[in-house]
Amino acid sequence: MSSKVAIVTGASSGLGRAIALNYGRMGWKIVCADLRPDTPSTTTTTVDLINQEARGKAIFFRTDVSSSDDVQSLIDTAVNTFGRVDVLVNNAGISLESRGKLGPKPIADTDDSTFDTTWAVNTRSVFLGCKYAIRQFLSQEPWPTGDRGWIINIASVYGLKPEIEHISYSTSKAAVVHMTKCIAREYGHSKIHVNAICPGFVKTEMDRVMLEDEALGAATVALHPWGSLGAADDVAKAACFLASDQAAWITGVALPVDGGYM
């Protein structure tokens, strides 16, 4: 048990890719879950980067994170391939109300399908991931420290401070924060860590269209006392910390990684 086995959803791009790569550099075994192994903006898949350049070992598993059967199969694949599951990062998410997609809209103009799809990917997926991961944690040998597992849910600063005209996204991420705290209380006695990271504005594909607008990008930067937007690695480092011995007495936390935005 010298290295951990981690599942990272949404691992093909953005925050998930950065988290998986950082885990790979620590020599971990990683199951990269996503709808496809690559994206139009990447030339090398996350799995290939980990297997070629990092110390870890990775496989890809196609997963619809809103499907109960797919998430159960994801857990089973990790166990069948690597023998156990130690860390789950529920990262997969969408923001249909972002500019460049459907765009910001008040609730009166928001389609039911926007809300339902957002909640299926952003919130139901976290419920399913936590449910099946915890079942596996409880069935396997704990670590010598007594720890049974680590869950890191990627929420958002919008889950802590809702943004107007983002009703679907903001509420879906607020639910992730409360789900995290609820599960942490339920399974603290089993030594299962359950924490959330609440990223601020990070330079990823999700915010690309907004950042390409010079005036809007500058206004967004001005919201951050740090004076800049974040990088995916800033969030990945927090994910490494929360799954480490340095966070041994931390559970139920919603950690902003936001350059002071909150």
Residues serving a catalytic function are: 169
Q: What is the pLDDT of residues 136-148, one digit of tens each?
A: 999 999 999 999 9
pLDDT at 55: 86
Q: Is residue 70 part of a domain?
A: yes
- Residues 224-235: what's their mean pLDDT? 93
The total number of structural domains in the chain stands at 1
Mean pLDDT lowest among 43-57, 88-102, 212-226: 212-226
Residue 12 CA to residue 34 CA, distance in Å, equals 6
pLDDT at 1: 57
Distance, first Cα to last Cα, the chain: 38
Residue 101 binned pLDDT confidence (cut-offs 50, 70, 90): confident
pLDDT at 121: 99
122 touches 233 (CB < 8 A): no
Q: Is residue 197 part of a domain?
A: yes
pLDDT exceeds cutoff 70 at 34: yes
Residue 29 CA to residue 59 CA, distance in Å, equals 8
pLDDT at 99: 75
Q: Which structure tokens are listed for 217?
A: 């990008």
Residue 196 CA to residue 160 CA, distance in Å, equals 11
- Residues 206-224: what's their mean pLDDT? 80
Residue 45 CA to residue 211 CA, distance in Å, equals 24
Mean pLDDT lowest among 96-100, 117-121, 144-148, 255-259: 96-100
> Which has the closest alpha carbon to 155: 181, 142, 173, 140?
173
Place of tokens 């990683």: 30
> CA angle, corner 183, sides to 177 and 188, nearest 5?
125
Q: Is residue 237 part of a domain?
A: yes
132 touches 75 (CB < 8 A): yes
- The CATH number that applies at residue 205 is 3.40.50.720
Mean pLDDT lowest among 37-41, 75-79, 101-105: 37-41
Domain of residue 252, residue span: 5-257
Q: Is residue 11 part of a domain?
A: yes
pTM for the whole structure:
0.95
Q: Is residue 262 part of a domain?
A: no
Q: What is the C-alpha R_g of the chain? A: 18
Q: Is residue 190 part of a domain?
A: yes
| φ, ψ dihedrals at 95, nearest 5° | -135, 80
Q: Is residue 156 part of a domain?
A: yes
